[in-house]
Amino acid sequence: MQLRMIADARLITARRAFEFGPDELRLTVLSIPQVREAIARIFAFQTAQVATPMPTFAPPMITVPPGLVFEIGVLNLPDSSPMPIRFLHIDGRRIVVDVAGPTSGAVAVFNALKETLANTRSPDGGPAIGQFKRTQDYSEISVKFGFSPDSLLAPGLRDLFNRMFSSPPGLDTPAGIVVPSLRFGIVSPTDDYVGSPQGNDQSRYAIDLRLGSLPSDNNYYSSAPLDTESHLKYLADLGTTLGSPATVESD
């Protein structure tokens, strides 16, 4: 599993949704005990239950059964380290795979799922998992850059904020450090703006200091609606733009 990596980058999570048309994903068949147990067994899931999946790329459909929730498993790949699986969630129109690794790992989990259930059929003879019609991606990466957090601001704003939060003359207290958190999305220029979504919206880009790190570490957290390969390229371009070219290596 080859992936072009930025030096000092760490893949936190990669999530891919496989979305299906009507009746291409037979949730009731997948929910029966022997099928559910086969899925849990092949990936050694610690949790395997019929339940409503959490919202990820969209709210889960309201159906009976409500969905399948598998959590904390592993995919053993030939000639590779075990791929940790955070979760595998299934609702009436979507299979969502989340791994602690590259997006190619999520694809490998989905392919292994399909292979495991290749002979599982519904009473009408159709496959339990048909053909998906599209995918959506989300990933989180931490990366160390050479630029300070205030480099994310335009020069004029950076100068203004640094003046505002500098130490008053005669005081020994250290000056405050401006630490912006950048969040942005892509919208149509011809549609009314509906406002910024609340919470961790997986359709938006975000970059911030890594939680638990010192500002001087220049260790950043980035989330984006991208597969990990595209996300790493975006971060490499960001580093180059802000004067901290990334060292790229193969992992």
- In the chain, CATH 3.60.90 covers 4-140
User: Measuring CA to CA, which residue among 91, 85, 47 is closest to residue 68?
Assistant: 91
Q: Given a cut of 70, is residue 249 above it in pLDDT?
A: no
Tell me, what's the pLDDT at 205? Answer: 94
Tell me, what's the pLDDT at 200? Answer: 64
Q: What is the per-residue pLDDT across 85-113, written as a single tens digit (0 to 9) for each?
A: 999 999 999 999 999 999 999 999 999 99
CATH fold for the domain made of 4-140? S-adenosylmethionine decarboxylase (3.60.90)
201 vs 116, residue with greater confidence: 116
| pTM of the predicted protein model | 0.89
Q: What is the per-residue pLDDT across 174-208, written as a single tens digit (0 to 9) for each?
A: 667 888 899 988 888 898 887 776 666 788 999 99
Q: Which amino acid is at 115?
A: E
